[in-house]
Amino acid sequence: MSAQAFPEIGPDAFEEPPQMAAGRPAGLTIIAVLAWIFGGLNLLCTPFNMLTLFLQPGGGFGGAPNPMAEVFAQLPWFRGYGVAMAVLGFLASGVLVAGGVGLFRLQRWGWHLLNGYAVFSILHSLVALGVNYAYVLPVMQASAASSKGGPSLAGTMGSVACCGLLGLIFPVAILIVINTGAGAAAKPPKADPFGGLGPAQE
């Protein structure tokens, strides 16, 4: 095979890609920075959130029952489910930060990582919404019905719905921005493994 198929790696290989020097679309810059912010915050907060799953929930305000205590008592599997979802979210946050770096540097793998993160995050949010509505909210409803001082069910359902919808906004925005318009056009072409030489020319 010609030596052109294996170009030498010199100092030029580490220079800024031509696409970056020509200008990065503003949409990609925004997505990359938000990926660092959201991913970094999740990496910092997730371990502390996981600790709350192992703490004994106390009573609610005014002596009212704590709805989460009821959830843990009636759904023995919920704590393990919460840990699994938190671990998956932690790993996804790492992918999000790495993808933001790749996107900012206009590296092709940045698109791959962020597309994978976005699809996973959407599925993750939908699963969480489904579990909350199918299992958690009925327990909270029973807890609220047993005590007039309990939390408002309508407020709880509204909070769950809002959090679920907010969790879908960023991954959907990622898919739109990096796969359409200027974001898609800025994606580097796939590298030629033969260095410009087809197998027939070897």
Name the pTM for this structure.
0.75
DSSP letter for each residue of 69-98 = HHHHHH-TTHHHHHHHHHHHHHHHHHHHHH
pLDDT at 194: 58
Where does the pLDDT of residue 35 fall: very low under 50, low under 70, confident under 90, or very high at 90 and above? very high
Using the predicted structure, report yes or no on whether residue 58 has a pLDDT greater than 80: no
Query: Tell me: the pLDDT tens digits for 157-202?
Result: 666 667 767 789 999 999 999 999 999 999 999 876 555 555 544 4
> What is the mean pLDDT of the segment spanning 128-137?
89
Residue 124 tokens, joined: 């993750």
CA distances, 149 to each of 54, 57, 61, 67, 146 (Å): 26, 17, 8, 11, 9
Q: Do residues 72 and 57 touch, judged by C-beta distance below 8 A?
A: yes
> What is the mean pLDDT of the segment spanning 125-153?
77
Using the predicted structure, report yes or no on whether residue 62 has a pLDDT greater than 60: no
Q: Is pLDDT larger for residue 165 or for residue 135? A: 135
- Read off φ and ψ for residue 153, nearest 5 degrees: -65, -40
